[in-house]
Amino acid sequence: MNKYWQNSITFDEYIKETERRIEVQNPEDDHNEYYELGLQRMNRTLKTFKIDEEQLNVLKSKNFTGKILIISEPWCGDASATVPAVTKFFEAANVEVKIFLKDSDHSLIEQFLTNGTQSIPKILILNENFEVKNVWGPRPQFGNDLLKKFKENPETYPREEFYNDLQVYYAKNRGKDAIEELLELL
């Protein structure tokens, strides 16, 4: 894991990389149309996210001395809602957080598949020796429940409605559930 950590970037660098991808579009990148939307969503999360003091106290009580490594990409809708909140929360507690760009090297995400897919974000809870202690992702349980509802019956719960409901949930929840679930895994 240390190798992946060394090849990861900070959240500020992640934002700058997103802006670069918007400015200089790669014609071979299938995600070009999603970078601007991802940046808008990340900025909305950053503007509306407030650190929950109760959650911060729970984190402090756990005496966590490790690091957080997030496997992500700025084109991902789940990531744009979750990554900023999780990063800002852990950084507020002086926990180091880095982001590994999934598309730069698939060998990391291949170790943490979700039902056989490279779903992101994946949040790896590392100890001080860079050993993976737990994994979270790609979305909070409420989002997983919405996805399950969509997959079970896309005729009565169409994709557009699922995506809309998921984004409305993310906008209202502001990362609180993701952080709560991560705290339970520490």
Tell me the average pLDDT of the chain.
96
Cβ atoms of 150 and 159 within 8 Å: the answer is yes
pLDDT of residue 39: 96
Residue 23, both tokens: 């400015």
Residue 58, both tokens: 């729970």
Cβ atoms of 90 and 67 within 8 Å: the answer is no
Report the share of the chain in percent with pLDDT over 70.
Answer: 100
What's the pTM?
A: 0.96
Per residue in 136-160, pLDDT (tens digit) is: 999 999 999 999 999 999 999 999 9
Residue 85, both tokens: 């909140």
- Give the integer Cα–Cα distance in Å for 178 and 36: 23
Per residue in 12-29, pLDDT (tens digit) is: 999 999 999 999 999 989
- Give the integer Cα–Cα distance in Å for 144 and 138: 9
CA nearest to 104, candidates 114, 118, 116:
118
Query: Looking at this protein, which amino acid is placed at residue 137?
Result: G
- Give the integer Cα–Cα distance in Å for 87 and 48: 14
Mean pLDDT (whole number) for 107-124: 97
Residues in the chain: 186
Residue 42, both tokens: 């990340």
- Give the integer Cα–Cα distance in Å for 57 and 51: 11
CA nearest to 80, candidates 124, 121, 25, 141:
121
Per residue in 57-98, pLDDT (tens digit) is: 999 999 999 999 999 999 999 999 999 999 999 999 999 999
- Give the integer Cα–Cα distance in Å for 134 and 131: 9
